[in-house]
Amino acid sequence: MPDDASRIAAFLGQTRQLLERLDYKAIAAGKQLLLDCYHRRGRIYAIGNGGSASTAQHFACDLAKYVIPSGQRPFDIRCLTDNPALYTAWANDADRADVFVNQMRGLLTAEDLVLAISVHGGTGFSADLVRAIRLARETGAPTLALVGFDGGVLHRECTCSILVPVDSTPQTEGIHLVIEHLLMHLIKEDLAHAG
């Protein structure tokens, strides 16, 4: 087995390579989708499972507070895993794959945006995410995905998808957080200059 220093170097080397392979145009398009939703006063629904749920929560926190110039209107964003009682009630009492759809049904409009975060992009996993983005498409709401591996269904079906091209859950989840913070940096600067 290689020593720790070799394994650390290998992991961080892969991280650097993956950061260099990110699609800058997709990141810029994702930033614009988020800003467009803000300017039209739509709501963002952030969804994810497991580690991706925590990234969705991080998005919700940063968009609601960090990016906003002092005294200005925050983003209207809801992370659909933030209410455990409601989330588990739907998961227990209805089809588990509709846990996000049931929270958005009757509320989601074409002015809103669904932000889906998934390591596997809904391929073989996370039917709840796939159903949510399909509801958004039926409603006319744009969708933004952060995905890994081959991108899966979300990469193919979302309005914009930012792919981390690696078959590694730790790398995908870590780089999703880098992308999240990059988007926050860009949005914060844009909103500051707009004021």
3-state secondary structure at position 22: coil
Is the residue at 5 inside a domain?
no
Classify residue 152 as left (phi > 0), alpha (psi -120 to 50) or beta.
left
Q: What is the pTM of this model?
A: 0.95
pLDDT in tens, 73-119: 999 999 999 999 999 999 999 999 999 999 999 999 999 999 999 99
Is the residue at 146 inside a domain?
yes
For the residues 113-142, what does the mean pLDDT come to?
Answer: 93
Predicted local distance difference test score (pLDDT) of residue 119: 96
Range of the domain at 109: 23-194
Is the residue at 1 inside a domain?
no
CATH number of the domain that residue 148 is part of: 3.40.50.10490
Closest CA to 54 of 117, 146, 139: 117
Question: In total, how many domains does the chain have?
Answer: 1
- Each as own residue / partner, the long-range contacts of residues 62-68 (CB below 8 Å, 24 or more positions apart, any chain) are 62/180, 62/181, 62/184, 63/34, 63/184, 63/187, 66/184, 66/188, 67/184, 67/187, 67/188, 67/191, 68/191
Selected residue with higher pLDDT from 125 and 188: 188
CA distance 54 to 57: 5
Is the residue at 75 inside a domain?
yes
Is the residue at 16 inside a domain?
no
